[in-house]
Chains A and B, each alone.
Chain A
Amino acid sequence: MAAAAQEAIHEHDHHEESFVSKYIFSYDHKMIGKQFLLAAIFMGVVGMMLSVFFRIQLAWPGESSDLLNMFLGDRWAPEGILNQDMYLGLVTIHGTIMVFFVLTGGLSGTFSNVLIPLQIGARDMASGFINMMSFWLFCISSIIMLASLFVESGPAMSGWTVYPPLSALPQAVSGSGLGMTLWLISLTIFIASSLIGSLNYIATIVNLRTKGLKMTRMPLTIWAFLITAIVGVLSFPVLLSAALLLFMDRVMGTSFFLSDIIVGGEMLDNVGGSPILYQHLFWFLGHPEVYIVLLPALGISSEVISTNSRKPIFGYRAMIGSLLAIGFLSFIVWAHHMFVSGMDPFLGSVFVFTTLLIAIPSAVKVFNYLTTLWKGSIVFTPAMLFAIGLVSTFISGGVTGIILADSALDIQVHDTYFVVAHFHVVMGLSAIFGMFAGVYHWFPKMYGKMMNNRLGYAHFWTTIVSGYGVFLPMHFVGLGGTPRRYYDNSIFDTFNPSAGEMVLDLNIIITVFAIIGAFGQVFFFFNFFYSIFRGPKAPLNPWRSNTLEWTTPTILPGHGNWPGALPEVHRWPYDYSKPGAEEDFIPQTVPLQPGEEEH
């Protein structure tokens, strides 16, 4: 190891030592990644609590609950009974927090940051400063979103998709006042954070790969982060424009999305706008967004499944190809959310076609995962358990997409609980499982400690059981014709009481599993925080993995990542159990033997 280089790193470290620059306004990608993770965990707890509150209302409608009164107070839960406007507020903020702050910020923010420089052999991100800005913008937007929960007139109440006119008119629902303004401001800042973050990821991956790391030798995690970032850069600006136009309709009297409206007895003079236009703009981001959430999770699971099956990922190039195909197709399917919006039915047919196309690369990915497991030598680390769980939920949620994509069938189930079940399984569960897999797998790298396996198993099994326990029955609530975003389902009593009873039965099952699942996360929180401080010290390469991050010292130096020269790459990252090799893994830094074929 070159003494001079070490010297240089040391000096570099010295002026970094102050607490503020090391832990708060850090430029170091590893610290920023951990900041994203902590912020996302915090937001996740909030999002989960909100969902437990409204699930209580759905299972035991109109019954008094101390818990609700304790958290929501007399304003929103007088005598422990949830207010019907606040029900919508909870649903809206739950969705917003989970989609944007937990799954987008938490996954991309955490793992793109921690892993990109480490897995491509770079000293840091292309711009440390922009990276820091990205986190702090994320933080500010989180705070604004949380603050909106405490506004007198309530938080935004028009669903996470905030369709106007409802979201534009405070006369229509109280949450469309200050709460909605804060929602828009928060999201605008979030988009800025996401955009600069993504540009940074792209620049880093394109420019800073170490010697020998061709694109076709990149781990699938990096491929997934790269495509995610590109999709984000191309789609988030469209949401930004939708948010700005909506903002102008709200405060400047423009009529982009408003026309012919009488609300609260007041006749508005907006004419010529189109609410459908907003939906096109929203879903132009909204659909790619679901893949922004999912792709990093798929990247993580590819890595984890290959490592712990002790086998190369099957069909590496097909995996990249399908990531690219999904990334591309995700831009031309958005209107499948609008089949019954009044859009031209012919346009609908076009989107049926493109949407079903996207199932093909998805199927390829699933079969490649299965083949990777086949004849493997599987080690069930907690990360591996979650990665397998991800494949299962990706299948189970993906198949119902086929029904939804068929516009004729979507007429019946659109906006029912069937859709809610579909996207929670395929996006909610899969992405969360990917996130947990990532945390368990790279915890040793992030904190230099090991997490406890047995708590990990307990965490996984309670999570997957309660995850399916919540969302499997929910499909049947939807098939029974139950609309989503209903405060209660008492309406069934007026036309089909026996169906109402069955829906209520199912809702109780769902809520009980939701509460079990929420408690199950205690295994994780405890394990996570306990291990940071008291976990056993991690060895250099605990999972016997090939990628570059495991060639750095356990406790990473501040900036610079490698104490000496940067590692050089000689092979792809999936040489597990390669015939002829002594060990069952060959790190990327090991040169090809004479006569050895690459793969």
Chain B
Amino acid sequence: MGSKLIIILVIIFGVLAIAQLVRVNELTAKATKRKEEEIPESENKFNANMMLAFMISLYAGFIWLMLKYGHVGLGPAASVHGQEIDWLFNLNWIIVIAVFFLTNSLLFIFAWKYSRKPGVKAYYYAHDNKLEMVWTVIPAAVLSVIIILGLRTWNETTARAGAEYEDIEIFAYQFAWTARYSGMNNELGKFDYKLTTAENPYAIMTKANIDRSLSLMKVGEPGQSGIKMIEDKLNDRSIMLSSKERKALEVDLGRKERMSRMLSAMSITYADSLDEFANDDVILEDSLVLLKGQKYNLSFRSKDVIHSAYFPQFRMQMNTVPGMLTYFKFQPIYTTDEMKRMMDNSEFEYALLCNKICGGSHYRMKMSVKVLGPKEYLEWQKTKSTYDGTPWIEGDESKLLEHYESIANRIEEN
């Protein structure tokens, strides 16, 4: 209440103050025969000087921001392509800042310097083809360099992943993330959104899941009406249905019939041997854990709307689009602990944030990400089990560790 009153008072007084000023101004204008269309020398001088003053404060503000907040808390790029991007970013940033200072300086200094002076006439200068050529060609040349360097990095970053990349699928939905590792065979199980049920939230495709979905669709169960239940309801003369209810049921029925036809087709064409790809996948809901130095090929899919998987520290971002798979490959180079040390920040973590507006809780849609060294990674893997409930790690652990260490060492060597 108090602040409301203050706001209203401030506005009223503000307007009154301006009105007073204008009144005074008007009276003096009348007394001195001042005309608005003729800007007096003193005012012109004032604005000219303000141009310089403004330029200086703009630069001071910018430099202060650069020093205090340049690259706020992002820290070094933690992936191979990220370092490439940072290098390029710095180069472009230098060009951008140079152009910013140069052209703004010319603007404000000209404005100040060439303000009207009594007796000095402007210089009639309508065009100069040579000059105009210069400032067409120079930007074109600089931009060519930017384009060439930029596209080189872009092509490397977006090139297809080779066989040595480990596949992980990131699944996005309002308002969380799930990761699915491809397991020891490095092959992700198939999926189809029509297989989504309460027990199969990620729509993983296996024989059992298809059968289960089909039966749910055809028969239904308490709380989820299948085709049969709807038909019974529509045909049961003892139930009174308004025409609106009847219509809604019919629409639902039509839709379920279409879905069940598609599921039946899926069930017929599905090869049972595909189950093994899904069965050794590992699903993680709480965090994404990565091995330092491993090359990853992430694939993204979405359950509902578009999200964007944004990993600021890896300089990585890709939208997740319903009905479509998207990809990003990368190679993390620092463990979480190394980053903590480098940034001198014990609370640091990697994060996966949502960066595409996706609904009310968009701002909370996050998954925590960890990068571990070989030993810790193996220890962690041993605590996880696969889709069909068997342990993730089978066979000779020491060999695996050796393999992981060679991967991590590749980074140290570079």
Contacts and interface: CB of A to CB of B under 8 A. Distances in A.
A576 B132 contact: no
Interface string B356-393: 11111111101010000000000000000000000000
A376 B117 CA distance: 10
A581 to B, nearest CB: 9
Given A375-B123, A579-B124, A409 B89 contact: yes
Interface in B93-137: 93, 95-96, 99-100, 103-104, 106-108, 110-111, 114-117, 120-128, 131-132, 135-136
A369 B395 CA distance: 73
Interface in B1-51: 1-4, 7, 11, 14-15, 18-19, 21-22, 25, 29, 35-37, 39, 43-44, 46-48, 50-51
B305 interface: yes
B312 A412 contact: yes
B364 to A, nearest CB: 6
Contact of A526 (B1, B15, B36, B85): B15
B310 interface: yes
Interface stretch (A7-15, A29-37, A123-131, A312-320): A312-320
Contacts of A314: 125-128
A402 B103 CA distance: 15
A523 B353 CA distance: 42
Contacts of A349: 151, 154-155
Contact of A396 (B25, B100, B124): B100
Contact of B312 (A158, A481, A500): A481
Nearest to B74: A481
Nearest to A489: B363
Given A359-B143, A370-B106, A274 B324 contact: yes
B54 interface: yes
B70 interface: yes
Interface residues of A, number: 147
A112 to B, nearest CB: 25
Interface residues of B, number: 129
A341 B114 contact: no
A592 to B, nearest CB: 15
Contacts of A375: 114, 122-123, 125
A261 B135 contact: no
B103 A370 contact: yes
A67 B146 contact: no
A328 interface: no
A594 interface: no
A353 interface: yes
A5 interface: no
Given A377-B114, A377-B117, A457-B43, A526 B88 contact: no
A499 interface: yes
Nearest to B102: A395
A536 B349 CA distance: 64
A312 B124 CA distance: 7
6 smallest beta-carbon distances between A and B, as pairs: A499-B73, A259-B323, A480-B72, A481-B312, A542-B37, A345-B158
Interface of B: 1-4, 7, 11, 14-15, 18-19, 21-22, 25, 29, 35-37, 39, 43-44, 46-48, 50-51, 54, 57-58, 61-62, 65, 69-74, 84-85, 88-89, 92-93, 95-96, 99-100, 103-104, 106-108, 110-111, 114-117, 120-128, 131-132, 135-136, 139-140, 143, 146-147, 150-151, 153-155, 157-158, 174, 193-194, 196, 255, 258-259, 300, 303-306, 308, 310, 312-313, 315-319, 321-324, 326, 345, 347-351, 353-364, 366, 368
